Amino acid sequence: MLVQLNPPIPIETPKGKGVAVMVIDYGPEFDLYWVCFQDETRECWTFSNQDIRAQANMTMHRPARPRNPVTALDKFRSQN
């Protein structure tokens, strides 16, 4: 399934800041893939779900750096 994001979502990727414009979902056994345009280079890249983060947004109470950055994978590992 391919979903166009309207409006695009500001994100941080391994290549810098950008906006996600589409999400590709291959089904329950696969990661989501985000189609993104990089702000600085205007290149189009696709990243897996684990490689992206939402950009900081003070209105949404999302600080630039979380105090204790615990990921879902960290939580899973601590339980098992």
pLDDT at 12 over 80: yes
Yes or no: say if 59 and 16 are a contact pair by the CB < 8 Å rule. Answer: no
**This prediction's pTM:** 0.73
Element (H, E) at 46: strand 44-48
What b/e sequence results for 54-79 when a residue is b if at least 16 CB atoms lie within 10 Å of its CB, and e otherwise?
Answer: eeeeeeeeeeeeeeeeeeeeeeeeee
pLDDT at 8 over 70: yes
Q: Give residue 20's identity as a one-letter amino acid code.
A: A
Give the pLDDT score at 32: 94
pLDDT digits (tens, 9 = 90+) for 20-69: 999 999 999 899 999 999 999 999 999 999 899 888 777 666 667 655 66
Write out the two tokens for 79.
Answer: 């339980």
C-alpha 71/C-alpha 56 separation (Å) is: 16
